[in-house]
């Protein structure tokens, strides 16, 4: 992703170490605390609390945060909280990915910030500062405030304003429902002045001409509210082409895009969409924080999909990355999750992304672009070859296997084969894959050949071998090739770095790097203990996860989430769970909620979507140890934490099926059950050793 230093989030999101907790933290990291599970998570002070199907913040101090949520034609970044005087802070930044601006590059999505609301009068007196009392989020954001007007004996109290905000699922609008509720003892007269703002952007600044940006409400008038009475109305924030508003748009603009959804319909559709996700890939554990964080991760991963002129395209978000795809964010990170979730848009966007990458296969084996942008009309390739074919071969193979659809697998096979051949042509005399950079695109040095590209190339070979077998081809040659690469990886990258027997990231590298976790994820265990020690040492682990490089305070959540998967894959379940619980609680109930983030300081912890996909894969592939081995076959290693009697992952949609996977403690063994409805497909006592093989 193209480097940017723009600070999107507010300054209060800068990571802060709780210095009073530092001794405990150091003790945990150094192994002085035997039961770090309770100690590490307990070092956090929750701002938010779990509530029903969401989270809730009872406002008692000054704080602000940002939240992103999305629909097919809009993404909204809501800046909310309290000012120093306790009054409400609320700003809405909207991004419309299909309203392209000039130049039509990666960041050319029309955007606008709205800070306005309808003017209110109470008993003919203007309303004073709106005091925020509580905030809740369950996929829909609700802000509850108290309104004050008048003075002395004429002062009105007990009047509440409940704002409910949600992006439309299919239309280019943000909905904000207002409910004025009289909880006082006296009747009050409320006057609402309509909100009706609009302006047109310059025609020469838009790819599709002039765009009309609108903010309007559907009520204008007075009401007498007795005790217990309420008044509701809607605000809409939206944008369209002027041609569409004027009725002169060509059919292409409206054939695939919903434009005329009412605010009430949009809010109802958002609730229906949330319910549909909540019924699929459901995590049930004794830890409600993990269950809720997993549910939110599914949502953020799935909602950020845009109905572009180039088809459905999953976009990272963050105010800058829309209507475009990347070999890492989409192909590698989030696409392999979508078959497990079974969301139709998710699977369609995954296949569409691979089709776009396949457009750039060529007989000369020039690199596939890192990013395809502007609704598929252009590319970005500013960092050269980042190991993109390794990312695509791995991600496409894992997606094809998990989808369980032979027709899709055969469509993807030419792309996978081309990427594998491209990697072969990049082999050095030492047998490792060279690349210009890695997914960090030169932010940190990566040499001429790096660990990440090579381990992903290995993972791609292994997954492609399983896919070959499922399609009646012989995968043995690919597995043999993977074995040779594995040996070359160990010879080229195995090293003692800062005292740890682990991996150097590239030739000449003398600092620990976060991506040393990748070999653990792919089952390369030659340097397992030294790598685990390095990852959880104070040189890399910190209060925000894994540092990108020792000695630097930069962190990217993607590396931390890969590290968790790697520690689970190494069968260090309780160690992984200690840190994973801490991370999940911090992200869900802490100062910046409720999703995994991109990075800091770059982007100031934007809630990019693919990172939530990686969070969900910590559960599916890490905790439950699900590894696709065929279109109808998977390995399973559900490792119960020591203090859990059982755990389940229900309504798993992978392999074109609907499965429940449960693990229950039975003495020193684990009773594993895989079922489809009432039909039991596998029921076996497992000793925690070699993974079980499940055939459907």
In angstroms, rounded to a whole number, what is the distance separating the alpha carbons of residues 372 and 224?
A: 55
Residue with tokens 């390739």: 381
Residue 156 has pLDDT above 90, yes or no: no
In angstroms, rounded to a whole number, what is the distance separating the alpha carbons of residues 318 and 608?
A: 6
627: CB partners within 8 A, 6+ apart: 621, 634, 635, 691
Contact 482, 462 (CB under 8 A): yes
Residue 257 has pLDDT above 70, yes or no: no
Polymer length of the chain: 696
Residue with tokens 């597995």: 479
Overall average pLDDT of the 572-594 stretch: 97
Residue 48 has pLDDT above 80, yes or no: yes
Residue 203: closest CA among 211, 214, 195: 211
In angstroms, rounded to a whole number, what is the distance separating the alpha carbons of residues 530 and 500?
A: 5
Contact 198, 223 (CB under 8 A): no
Q: Which two tokens stand for residue 542?
A: 């910190």
pLDDT tens digits along 318-364: 999 999 999 999 999 999 999 999 999 999 999 999 999 999 999 99
Residue 630: closest CA among 356, 349, 318, 400: 400
Q: Is 32 helix (H, G, I), strand (E, B) or coil?
A: coil
* Cα 89 from chain centre: 25
Residue 1: closest CA among 432, 556, 473: 556
How would residue 40 be classed by pLDDT, with cut points 50, 70 and 90? confident
**Count of other CB atoms within 10 angstroms of residue 114:** 20
In angstroms, rounded to a whole number, what is the distance separating the alpha carbons of residues 10 and 313?
A: 28
Q: Which 8-state DSSP code applies to residue 518?
A: H
pLDDT for res 39:
65
pLDDT tens digits along 218-252: 999 999 999 999 999 999 999 999 998 888 776 45
Residue 411 has pLDDT above 90, yes or no: yes
Contact 502, 513 (CB under 8 A): no
How would residue 128 be classed by pLDDT, with cut points 50, 70 and 90? confident
pLDDT for res 256:
53
Compute the CA torsion angle 586, 651, 571, 688 (nearest 10 deg): 140
Q: Which residues pair with 553 in a beta bridge?
A: none
Residue 11 has pLDDT above 70, yes or no: no
Residue 231 burial (CB < 10 Å; 0-12/13-18/19+)? middle
In angstroms, rounded to a whole number, what is the distance separating the alpha carbons of residues 629 and 175?
A: 44
Q: Is 245 helix (H, G, I), strand (E, B) or coil?
A: helix
Rounded to two decimals, what is the model's pTM?
0.94
Report phi then psi at 11, rounded to 5.
-60, -25
Contact 611, 318 (CB under 8 A): no
Contact 213, 196 (CB under 8 A): no
| Sign of torsion over alpha carbons 115, 612, 371, 172 | negative
Overall average pLDDT of the 442-458 stretch: 98
Residue with tokens 């992304």: 353
Compute the CA torsion angle 529, 533, 535, 536 (nearest 10 deg): 140
pLDDT for res 250:
66
């Amino acid at each position: 992703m193209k480097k940017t230093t723009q600070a999107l989030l507010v300054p209060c999101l800068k990571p802060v170490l709780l210095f009073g907790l530092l001794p405990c933290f150091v003790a945990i990291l150094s192994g002085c605390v035997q039961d770090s599970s309770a100690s590490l998570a307990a070092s956090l002070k929750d701002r938010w609390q779990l509530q029903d199907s969401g989270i809730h913040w009872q406002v008692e101090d000054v704080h602000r945060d940002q939240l992103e949520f999305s629909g097919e034609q809009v993404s909204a970044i809501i800046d909310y909280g309290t000012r120093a005087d306790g009054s409400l802070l609320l700003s809405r930044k909207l991004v419309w990915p299909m309203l392209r601006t000039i130049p039509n590059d990666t960041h050319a999505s029309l955007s606008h910030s709205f800070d306005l609301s309808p003017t209110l009068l109470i008993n003919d007196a203007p309303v004073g500062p709106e005091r925020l009392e509580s905030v809740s989020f369950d996929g829909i954001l609700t802000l509850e405030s108290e309104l004050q007007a008048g003075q002395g004996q004429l002062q009105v109290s007990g009047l509440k304003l409940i704002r409910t905000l949600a992006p439309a699922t299919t239309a280019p609008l943000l909905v904000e429902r207002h409910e004025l509720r009289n909880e006082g003892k006296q009747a009050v007269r409320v006057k609402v002045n309509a909100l009706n703002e609009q302006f047109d952007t310059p025609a020469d600044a838009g790819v599709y001409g002039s765009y009309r940006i609108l903010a309007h409400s559907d009520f204008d008038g007075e009401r007498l509210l007795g005790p217990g009475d309420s008044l509701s109305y809607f605000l809409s924030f939206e944008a369209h082409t002027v041609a569409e508003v004027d009725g002169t748009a060509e059919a292409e603009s409206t054939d695939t895009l919903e434009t005329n959804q009412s605010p009430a319909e949009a809010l109802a559709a958002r609730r229906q969409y949330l319910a549909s996700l909540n019924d699929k890939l459901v995590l049930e554990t004794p830890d409600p924080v993990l269950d809720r964080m997993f549910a939110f991760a599914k949502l953020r991963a799935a909602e950020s999909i845009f109905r572009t002129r180039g088809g459905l395209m999953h976009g990272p978000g963050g105010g800058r990355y829309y209507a475009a795809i990347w070999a890492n964010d989409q192909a590698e990170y989030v696409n392999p999750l979508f078959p497990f979730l079974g969301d139709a848009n998710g699977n369609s966007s995954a296949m569409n992304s691979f089709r776009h990458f396949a457009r750039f296969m060529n007989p000369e084996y020039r690199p596939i672009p890192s990013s395809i942008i502007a609704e598929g009309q252009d590319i970005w390739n500013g960092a050269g070859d980042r190991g993109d074919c390794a990312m695509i071969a791995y991600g496409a193979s894992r997606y094809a296997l998990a989808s369980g659809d032979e027709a899709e697998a055969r469509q993807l096979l030419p792309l996978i084969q081309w990427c594998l051949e491209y990697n072969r042509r990049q082999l050095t005399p030492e047998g490792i894959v060279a690349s210009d950079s890695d997914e960090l695109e030169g932010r940190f040095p990566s040499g001429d050949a790096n660990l990440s590209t090579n381990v992903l190339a290995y993972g791609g070979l292994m997954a492609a071998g399983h896919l070959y077998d499922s399609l009646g081809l012989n995968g043995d040659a690919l597995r043999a090739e993977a074995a040779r690469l594995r040996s070359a990886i160990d010879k080229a990258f195995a090293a003692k770095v800062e005292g740890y027997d682990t991996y150097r990231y590239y030739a000449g590298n003398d600092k620990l790097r976060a991506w040393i976790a990748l070999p653990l994820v792919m089952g390369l265990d030659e340097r397992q203990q030294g790598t685990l020690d390095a990852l959880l040492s104070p040189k890399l682990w910190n209060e925000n996860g894994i540092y990108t490089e020792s000695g630097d305070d930069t962190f990217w959540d993607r590396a931390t989430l890969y590290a968790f998967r790697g520690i689970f894959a190494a069968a260090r379940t309780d160690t992984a769970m200690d840190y994973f619980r801490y991370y999940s609680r911090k992200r869900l109930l802490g100062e910046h909620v409720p999703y995994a983030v991109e990075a800091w300081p770059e982007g100031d912890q934007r809630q990019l979507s693919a990172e939530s996909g990686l969070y969900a894969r910590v559960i599916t592939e890490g905790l439950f140890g699900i590894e696709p081995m065929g279109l109808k076959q998977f390995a399973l290693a559900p490792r119960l934490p020591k203090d859990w009697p059982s755990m389940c992952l229900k309504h798993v949609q992978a392999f074109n099926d609907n499965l429940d996977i449960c693990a229950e403690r039975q003495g020193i063994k684990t009773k594993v059950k895989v079922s489809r409805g009432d039909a039991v497909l596998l029921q076996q006592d497992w000793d925690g050793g070699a993974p079980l093989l499940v055939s459907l």
